[in-house]
Structure 1
């Protein structure tokens, strides 16, 4: 699935407009006004990138033309938190000029994301949290934005605990929206902030198939000649539900689910 949505407005357009108006009244040059205009539409989240492969072989490519997902589905019985790879765009124009020895200041260094989670009625699931992120995004060229990926913690441990409890109590999927606000800083020292970007996540408990080995001693990593003859269960990438193998849990599936319910 590919998410074609794109947001590219500043999270505080009113404040930016007032600052620009003040700058225009107090500055005679047009350079400062141009910088303010850039900040109104400089940074945006394009999409959640898909991971291909399985298990430890999952890979991601950072380009708007690469596959993306429009929603995640995770089993809280087997994960304690959940992260996603987001593609972030930079629409600030290039300002570097080698002919006059002017360095490029329009690259954006991403440094934090503010995450809040809501249920489908708009009620907050958590109080929100700020997490560090990493990535440098080159400036756009012409009408094309520059892009790079960053990993964002969509559901932290406390939020996952809450959703796990709800899924167990209700016996069904819990649907939420993770709302992300990305912040960065240009190499020229200008703070930039993307518009809030929301992404749906479905959380269940114990809805993924889990396979025990025969003999069960293999589940605990104990040596046994028959363990080598068993076919591995193909595990899914983060963000997708898929089969579980007791050998990756270090105990039988029933034991793991019982412990996860506590």
Structure 2
């Protein structure tokens, strides 16, 4: 083999390696587009959610830290992986994605990390849900519940909101991970969502008879709460609204005094 042919082979191998690297880079890029967070589903009426891109969604949340120890939201996740199942040749569908965890980090509106009471500026939480592949040009969708603010971070934000007397604005950034039934690891690009955290900005209602007795207590001792027949009112998670003292098991004032 002469020097010219040897050089040609080396150049060919280098070209193939470069092309393979390009394919790998493309695969990595497609990995984030295969799975994606579409939106935060709205909770209205009886606080239920319908998992569809055509349903109502929210663009920001407001949370009263006086009555919430953490904050979760229902996110709509899309799957754009091409279907691979074929009943004619008995090939099973491997493009369904099983969601298994979400990585969350919280920052202020300037982008600075917000550390929780445990000193961590982020956390990983388990999630559930299977997202089917789409059909034609449409993605498949399903919902998953994600902890947008954990308890340790909420403790810090509660202290800040109480001390300042005004809401604290933060951004919760989420990355959802999943695994196809064929064993391929996929994850979404980062999805960011604004949340306003206040302290005692909800309307807390004391009910008659006194003691704002918890309905669970009334089940064990019917005389403990007197004749409470009014329906318990409240607001959906992600909205500041009305707090019924019966959900607290004590009067609004007694509850706040302990926060």
| TM-score, structure 1 as length reference | 0.81
Partner residue of 2:157 out of 158, 163, 169: 163
**Structure 2 unmatched runs, 5+:** 1-15, 116-120
Query: Contact (CA 8 Å) 2:78, 2:142: kept in 1 or not?
Result: yes
Aligned residues, how many?
Answer: 232
Show the counterpart of 1:18. Answer: none
1:194 aligned onto 2:185 = no
- Residue matched to 1:107: 96
Indicate conservation of the 8 Å contact 1:217/1:224, yes or no.
Answer: no
1:242 alignment counterpart: 241
Q: Distance in 2 between matches of 1:214 and 1:99?
A: 67
Evaluate the alpha carbon distance shift between residue 35 and residue 122 of structure 1 in structure 2; reply closer, same or farther with a 3 A threshold. Answer: closer
Cα shift at 1:238 = 0.8
Q: Using the alignment, how far apart are the partners of 1:166 and 1:131 within structure 2? A: 24
The residue that corresponds to 1:47 in the other structure is 39
Normalising by structure 2, what TM-score? Answer: 0.82
Output the aligned Cα RMSD.
Answer: 2.4
Q: Deviations over 1:163-197 (max 9, x none)?
A: 00000110000110000001111111111111000
Q: Return the alpha-carbon distance in structure 1 between the equivalents of residues 225 and 58 of structure 2.
A: 41
Contact 2:211 2:251 in 1 (8 A): no
The alpha carbon displacement at 1:35 in A equals 6.5
Indicate conservation of the 8 Å contact 1:43/1:90, yes or no: yes
- The residue number in structure 2 matching 1:6 is none
Deviation by residue 1:178-237 (Cα, 9 ceiling, x = unmatched):
0000111111111111100000111111111111123423446573686436x4452111
Asked if 1 retains the 8 angstrom alpha-carbon contact of 2:79 and 2:97, the reply is yes
Residue of structure 1 aligned with 2:62, choices 73, 94, 100: 73
Whole-angstrom CA distance in 2 between matches of 1:37 and 1:169:
44
CA-CA distance at 1:98 after TM superposition? 1.4
| Max Rg structure | 2
- Structure 1 unmatched runs, 5+: 1-20
Equivalent residue, structure 2, for 1:135? 129
